[in-house]
Structure 1
Amino acid sequence: MTVSVEVAAVRDFLAECTPFNELSEEHLTLAAGHVQIAYYRAGESTGILDYSNPKLLIVRSGAFEVRNGEGELLDRVEPGGYFGYPSLLTGDAITNQAVVIEDGLLYQIDADTFQQLRSVNRSFDRFFNQAHAKRLRHAVRFREQNYQLTRRVGDLSSREPVTARPDLTVAEVAEIMTAQRVSSVMVIDERQQLCGLVTDRDLRARVVAEKRGPETPLSEIMTRELTSVSAESLVFEALLLMTEHNIHHLPVTADGQPVAMLTTTDLVKAQKADPVYLIGEIGHQDSVEGLKGVSRDIPELLRSLIRAEASADQIGRLLTTVTDALTRQLIKQAVEKYGEPPVPFAWLAFGSLGRRDQTAISDQDNGMLVGDAVTQGDDEYFLAVANYVNDGLDACGYKYCPGEIMASTPDWRQPLVGWKKQFLRWINQPSSKALMHASIFFDMRCVYGDQSLFDDLQATVCDAARGNEIFLANLTANALKLTPPMGFFKNFVVEHSGEHKNTLDVKLRGIMPINDIARIYALSIGSRQVHTLERLQEAVSSKLLTLKDSRNLTDAHEFISRLRLVHQGEQLRDGVKPDNHLNPSTFSSLSRHQLRDAFAVVNNAQSALRVKFTHGLM
């Protein structure tokens, strides 16, 4: 096919750029034929990204920067680089801005052509999806981590504003405030613009104290000189304003119209969603009832962390830290009640709490490791302490373990010698029950008490598991029973009936397999790490995993875990009991694509695990 000189020049340039070099000659020419060329001068920043008409932008010459709505740098794009594609992938009107750093030419490809090229070439499609995922991770990585300082006012104010006209009387407004159970009313004019504010304090100081009558109009007592903020303002900025002006009510406006009222009560509630605040409050409680009250703020902590785009790993560690603090305070209360322990002991955490990756769903997996000098009579003390802590955790929202893996159960309240015998039995006689326990008990951590007792136990376990081919082979075979829910044609395999119809259990079929992989590698080298991502890093150091494979598993773990946490945060917001069941039909096309990629990573890692360890069964 004959093409013009101009199209041929564009085609030659694109042919040198990944992923256009993956296209057939026909589709490369198609792309070049649809290119529009635009020239921009250094310093320009308007009109380059038009989200009403999104396009793929390819830098032919010059240099461009892409910044988010807060002005933070997301990417610097030079010849052969791309931007503008996130809107084409997601359909969302992303509010990034492009700035011209050096005079340059852009090749522009329209949305229809871009989608056609994605549909005909898998490598082309994968390239832009992975580029978008990388940019998202970059944006989160460089986001200010103190989420309390970066939260928006709009995140705190939820109810509709209570408003009144200036000609209403004090008596009428008092009735409104009583009925609406608010301490302030925003006054609006005929154009719905905010023109004044009346608070409880105004009614006391300007009506009662000045002996005005109930028929006094609001226009005579309202505060006219107002300080206000937008919903996009930082909570930190609002706090400074309220402190500077000594006010307790701050109107939230949009184009001069009231949209919400921010109060000091809202700020107190926001502070309660700070893990440092929560842990401090936990340390001040001397009763289960007090801890129960503090624990009610944990769901809001989770939602706050999700809104701040903290990583799933960060969220898991923070929630675990709060749970650790609750557990320690309960143990301290129990010791205060029952006296000092007769022999040293350690409180053990297993499973997700042991791995430091807790979510909104948390039942109890714990035990007590007691010094070998314990006597039969001493167990009465330790049972009392265990019952106090287990009951207290249940009261705080950490439900009793359905399998009774709790310190109050005799099997999981043992002297050191008893725990060693139990673990050695599981390792040397890997029955189906022992393998089931491995996914819980081999992820253990000391939360409180004598660390040396725990270190002694962990050393015994790690030494026994290291290089034990039969145990590792059985552990691997058992772990491989949980595979990602993907069909032969790379379609999602969902539940076909029941309560969770059309959903995936992303914990069971996505996160747990990665945890299993990391655990097996750790046990094979006698590692004492229990956190999944740290285990994967040690596997790289020990040459069991390549750096690329470790990073792929880490990214897959983060992506799937993040999807689950966002899902649980939405359920908490809606008053629904959190679960692990996600409906893939509700995802964007990008998220579905990335989830398939994450499952493919897990599947490949399981295949490598099978080759490496199951020979012990032959």
Structure 2
Amino acid sequence: MDESELLPIRNFLAEIAPFNELPPNLLDECCRNLGIGYYSNTMKAVPLSSENPELYIVRSGAFEVRNAQGELLDRLGAGDYFGFPSLMSGETISNQVLILEDGLVYHLGLPLFDKLRQGCRAFDRFFNKAYAKRLRHQEDYRHNALLTANRINSLMATAPVSVDHKTSVNEAAKLMRKHRVSSVLIMDNHKLVGILTDRDLRNRVLAEGHGGDIAVHQAMTATPETIEANALVFEAMLQMSQHNIHHLPVLDNGHPVGMVTSTDIIRSQSSQPILLIGEIERQHDVPSLIHVSKQIPLLLQNLISADARAEEIGRILTSVTDALTRRLIQLHQALLGEPPMAFCWLAFGSQGRQDQMACSDQDNGLLLAQAPDTEASAYFEALTHAVCRGLNECGYVFCPGDIMAQNPAWRMSLSQWQQTFSDWVNTPDPKALMHASIFFDMRCVYGPAPLFASLQENVLAHTRDNDIFLAALTGNALSESPPLGFFRQFVLERDGTEEKGIDLKHRGSVLINDIARVYALSAGIHEVNTAKRIRTLIANGILTRKDGLNLADALEFIAHMRLANQGRQYENQEPLSNYLKPQALSSLMRHQLRDAFKVVHDAQAALKLKFMRSF
């Protein structure tokens, strides 16, 4: 190829990771030796050779990678790669790369690929991480064990407490009291030589008549059982049971990094969702519910550590919120007496969509079977104030916009709710559109299903194929955009401090929620959860399979990034937020996050074309 042919190839590769990390001489050599292939979707699949493996670089078109069982491993577009075992599942022959759209693909042979990896460390590191990412992506389609498959390090919240082996027992006991721990690690020249526990103090000091001035090495449990930080919680449980012990020092490459106790494991077991929900349902007063709710942050952290899918985490956390809400309603009904009429407790926003994460506030309302009289109004006022107050005390803070059932404005009869939604749809002013982003994602948490169905059916009848309302709702959905600037660089915002970051919620997740909501309301779809809405839109042919799956992937990836970021903030004892600092991302993760935001950008453009073409 001459220079005029090489230039577009060079410009393309210079803008995508990790080719943008190559030194100029290697990039030039790469461009000169690339093969070029054109793949039509009439071919169905790309023919892959196990004898002459190559790296395939997608210049245009769309492809899917599936394993022998037909499970989706990845979806690929411009700037993505496939081909080598390290970029797929480890079984190149059994995997298929399906052609969704005609595409142009560059071929990079194995000898040159190895030369680039040897000549550029960043290039090599990128593909090592791509392998790990692909394996994780494959596992996303399988069930995660949420407790015993967790790693030991997920249970460690604080640094280990340790003393020198010559320290007195008295000083060690004071240190244990100060840090509120039941054991300390005993060190000799930076090496773990033993542990001192409450039981040791009782059996080897007090029971033997020793004073507190003896050295800890005289009372400690020498050469204790230990466990590695990356071991499974199940292994720790087994080890404690076999040796009848309650403390396990945790090591990382031989160095003590923490201590796990039987209490830690019991506490983590109690934060499993089913057990936690069962415990909620067994409580008989509000103070007990408040105490149980303190396990919710640990549940979230366990789910993040188990690498559960963001969609699963949202459903689990919301199930706990629903259980708390129902139990509060039941407890206060027992105090107030039977309700004067049938009612539904409505959840809006993130609880309605079942995608709650950390820092969730309340968004709820009350649907009454009929207009209440004075006595009924007093009953429901007392009930809603008590339930909202209880949720606030359990960690679900009062809504800053006062969208709560305790506000009389959101405590209405069926006919009043129907009229309110009708007004919003028929007069889509800015305030109505703001409410639409919250109230149109609604779900019944407590109460008779037919009563809620009457409201939902009425709402969908008003929104289905309502061009004026849908155009206005689309305009509102496009008021914000993904944080991408020129050349797909991130646009950073301040999070209220001097730090700059990417708002993953309002510039990512919320935008996808808005897109899915418009399509769902236009088609009268009952689903409220965004991922389920997208799947239904694909099944009904409203979104193409490729566009819908890309949007679903972007939703999951951005939500996963939010959760992982909040998990790091929790571990570092930082305030939880939705702001991600780009400098904390690897080159690979930056690349993938930009791709996810590009999907959102394209989906917004398609939404505008469909619903605002005539306006």
Q: TM-score, normalised by structure 2?
A: 0.78
Q: Which amino acid aligns with 2:305?
A: R
How far apart are 1:510 and its partner, in Å?
1.7
C-alpha separation between the residues in 1 aligned to 2:135 and 2:361? 36
Whether the 8 Å CA contact 1:343–1:373 is kept in 2: the answer is no
1:200-248, Cα deviation, whole Å (9 max, x unpaired)? 2233234433445656665665445743222222111111221233221
C-alpha separation between the residues in 1 aligned to 2:162 and 2:274? 33
Do residues 551 (structure 1) and 549 (structure 2) align? yes
Do residues 137 (structure 1) and 133 (structure 2) align? no
CA change 1:214–1:502 in 2 (3 A) is closer
Cα root mean square deviation, aligned: 3.8
C-alpha separation between the residues in 1 aligned to 2:90 and 2:550? 30
SS in 2 for 1:446: strand
| From 100, 111, 114, the counterpart of 2:117 | 111
SS in 2 for 1:484: coil
* 2:41 alignment counterpart: none
1:11-42, Cα deviation, whole Å (9 max, x unpaired)? xxxxxxxx99xxxxx9899249999xxxxxxx
C-alpha separation between the residues in 1 aligned to 2:400 and 2:253? 54
* 1:421 alignment counterpart: 419
How far apart are 1:585 and its partner, in Å?
3.8
Whether the 8 Å CA contact 1:350–1:441 is kept in 2: the answer is yes
Whether the 8 Å CA contact 1:470–1:616 is kept in 2: the answer is no
C-alpha separation between the residues in 2 aligned to 1:457 and 1:383? 21
C-alpha separation between the residues in 2 aligned to 1:100 and 1:468? 50
How far apart are 1:504 and its partner, in Å?
2.8
How far apart are 1:372 and its partner, in Å?
1.5
Whether the 8 Å CA contact 1:150–1:234 is kept in 2: the answer is yes
CA change 1:209–1:386 in 2 (3 A) is same
| From 248, 251, 261, the counterpart of 1:250 | 248
CA change 1:351–1:176 in 2 (3 A) is closer
How far apart are 1:456 and its partner, in Å?
0.9
* 1:23 alignment counterpart: none
Aligned length: 538
C-alpha separation between the residues in 2 aligned to 1:169 and 1:376? 71
* 2:333 alignment counterpart: 335
How far apart are 1:371 and its partner, in Å?
0.9
1:391-424, Cα deviation, whole Å (9 max, x unpaired)? 1111122121122111111121011111111112
C-alpha separation between the residues in 2 aligned to 1:529 and 1:231? 42
Do residues 82 (structure 1) and 84 (structure 2) align? yes
| From 201, 208, 217, the counterpart of 1:203 | 201
Whether the 8 Å CA contact 1:31–1:109 is kept in 2: the answer is no
C-alpha separation between the residues in 2 aligned to 1:310 and 1:365? 26
CA change 1:83–1:381 in 2 (3 A) is same
Do residues 240 (structure 1) and 266 (structure 2) align? no
Do residues 155 (structure 1) and 154 (structure 2) align? yes
Whether the 8 Å CA contact 1:31–1:113 is kept in 2: the answer is no
Query: Percent sequence identity over matched residues?
Result: 45
Greater C-alpha radius of gyration: 1
CA change 1:206–1:109 in 2 (3 A) is same
| From 434, 437, 440, the counterpart of 2:438 | 440
1:442-495, Cα deviation, whole Å (9 max, x unpaired)? 100000112111011111111222122222222112212222222243222223
C-alpha separation between the residues in 2 aligned to 1:372 and 1:496? 47
User: Tell me, which stretches of 5 or more residues in structure 2 are unaligned?
Assistant: 3-17, 20-24, 35-48, 55-72, 75-81, 95-108
Equivalent positions of 1:2-81 (< 5 A) are 30-31=29-30, 60=51, 81=83
User: Tell me, which stretches of 5 or more residues in structure 1 are unaligned?
Assistant: 3-18, 21-25, 36-57, 64-73, 87-95, 119-124
| From 348, 352, 355, the counterpart of 2:353 | 355
CA change 1:241–1:129 in 2 (3 A) is closer
* 2:476 alignment counterpart: 478
1:281-311, Cα deviation, whole Å (9 max, x unpaired)? 2223233322222222222222222222112
| From 504, 508, 511, the counterpart of 2:509 | 511
CA change 1:170–1:465 in 2 (3 A) is closer
Q: Which moved more, 1:225-234 or 1:536-545?
A: 225-234
C-alpha separation between the residues in 2 aligned to 1:98 and 1:523? 43
C-alpha separation between the residues in 1 aligned to 2:583 and 2:217? 54
Q: Which moved more, 1:537-546 or 1:339-348?
A: 537-546
C-alpha separation between the residues in 1 aligned to 2:586 and 2:252? 30
Q: Which amino acid aligns with 2:484?
A: M
How far apart are 1:503 and its partner, in Å?
2.5
Q: Which moved more, 1:380-389 or 1:427-436?
A: 427-436
Q: Which amino acid aligns with 1:162?
A: S
* 1:44 alignment counterpart: none
1:74-122, Cα deviation, whole Å (9 max, x unpaired)? 99xxxx9325579xxxxxxxxx999999xxx96423337568999xxxx
Q: Which amino acid aligns with 1:148?
A: L
How far apart are 1:163 and its partner, in Å?
4.0
C-alpha separation between the residues in 2 aligned to 1:214 and 1:239? 33
C-alpha separation between the residues in 2 aligned to 1:510 and 1:256? 42
Q: Which moved more, 1:416-425 or 1:563-572?
A: 563-572
